[in-house]
Amino acid sequence: MRSSRKAAWMCGIRSLSEKIIYFTSTLSLYKIESVEVKIYEKKEPVLDYLIHMGNGYLLTAEALSHGISRPTIAEYVKKNHLEKLAKGIYFSPDAWPDDLYFLYLQNRRIIFSHETALYLHGLMEREPVRTYVTVRTGYNATHLREKGIRVHQAKPESYELGASSILTGYGNKVPVYDKERTICDLIKGKEKTDIQIFQTAMKEYMDSKDKNIPNLMLYASKLKMEDKVRFYTEVML
């Protein structure tokens, strides 16, 4: 009789212990979920700011640099129906797509050049059919060429010559060669450039108030094409 009572008593203790563990675990889980909700609510304005400053683009790397966790980013992406364009790159359905900016985000080592640079600088009336970029010699640009992008290569000493940045038509900053370097590239590749594009670009540059002839000749000297550049600038003057 005593043994059966003792067994029942022990069973009750076990059941009570299990209930305590269950309720403790449930309470802990509730607290964790509550904390996660509070963290998300606290970080959401930061993500709103990042996507606003990015003109509709949200970069995982940038969000992480602001102390936002991946789960919080994932929750934000889901809640706001952001489209995943590539790994670590999300896009708001309310924003305007920017092909040049997206290409740059995927390929940080490119510099927009040649006809694309002419267009960005307003030296060419129509946007070129193909996108032109320059990369450092040795860079594997097979994936770019497969997309129909015209890729030029430059040696290390000339790759960064005239490298600058500019806003696209959608307000996103992208790397581009400045006007003077672009004119040097234009003259260098004259034989492969449409004559109308060449003449328009040269005229627009020479008529522009912000042209910098000293820099143009400096670049020409470093690119070993000083005579060619001097000839065309004198003709246009």
Q: 158-214 pLDDT, tens per residue?
A: 999 999 999 999 999 999 999 999 999 999 999 999 999 999 999 999 999 999 999
Q: Which two tokens stand for residue 171?
A: 């307000």
Q: Residue 135: phi, psi to the nearest 5?
A: -125, 165
Give the chain's domains with CATH numbers.
2-91 (no CATH), 99-236 (3.30.460)
Interacting residues of 235 by C-beta distance below 8 A, sequence separation 6+: none
pLDDT of residue 235: 81
Question: What mean pLDDT comes out for the span 95-103?
Answer: 94
Decide: 170 and 96 in contact? Cβ < 8 Å.
Answer: yes
Q: What is the pLDDT of residue 41?
A: 54
Give me the pLDDT at residue 179, please: 98
In which element (H, E) is residue 193 found? none
Instruction: Tell me 141's DSSP state.
Output: -
pLDDT averaged over the chain? Answer: 85
| Max CA pair span of the chain | 118
Band of pLDDT at residue 234, cut at 50, 70 and 90: confident
Task: Give residue-wise pLDDT tens across range 35-89.
Answer: 344 444 566 889 999 999 999 999 999 999 999 999 999 999 999 999 999 999 9
pTM: 0.79
Q: Tell me the mean pLDDT in the region 211-234.
A: 95
Of residues 231, 145, 135, the one with CA closest to residue 188: 231
122-169 per-position pLDDT tens digit: 999 899 999 999 999 999 999 999 999 999 999 999 999 999 999 999
